[in-house]
Amino acid sequence: MEFWIAEIRFAPEVEAKIKEKHQLTPARVREAVALGAADRAGWHTDPAYGRRLIATGRDADGCEIDVYLRPVDRDEEIWECLTAIPWER
């Protein structure tokens, strides 16, 4: 994989949003895409939100999660979570 996600940081408002709206925790998000767990990742440019990395992976329960990330420090492979969305089954 071209992208390595060593660390994911969450702003308090993003953490609250993904918990309330999507029933996701930072631990589940990290489990799905950090440290080589992502199944796929690629850059996406949105006219409203700009360029961000979308990484997709599965948590321990097999739930597939799309995670939208912004680089904080590419050398240290640190990313900021913008949002995370579980796939509906």
pTM value? 0.93
Query: DSSP alpha helices (H): ranges in 1-89?
Result: 12-22, 26-33
Residue 2 belongs to some domain of the structure:
no
CB atoms under 10 Å from CB of 46, counted, come to: 10
Quote the pLDDT of residue 2: 78
Q: Is residue 31 part of a domain?
A: yes
> What is the domain range of residue 24?
7-86
Per-residue pLDDT, 3 = 85
Residue 25 lies in a domain: yes
Q: Kindly report, residue by residue over 49-61, the tens digit of the pLDDT.
A: 999 999 999 999 9
Task: Quick: pLDDT tens for 6-31.
Answer: 999 999 999 999 999 999 999 999 99
Do the domain assignments include residue 38? Answer: yes
pLDDT of residue 42: 96
Exposure on the CB side of residue 79, measured as CA atoms within 13 A:
26
How many domains is the chain built from? 1
Q: Is residue 1 part of a domain?
A: no
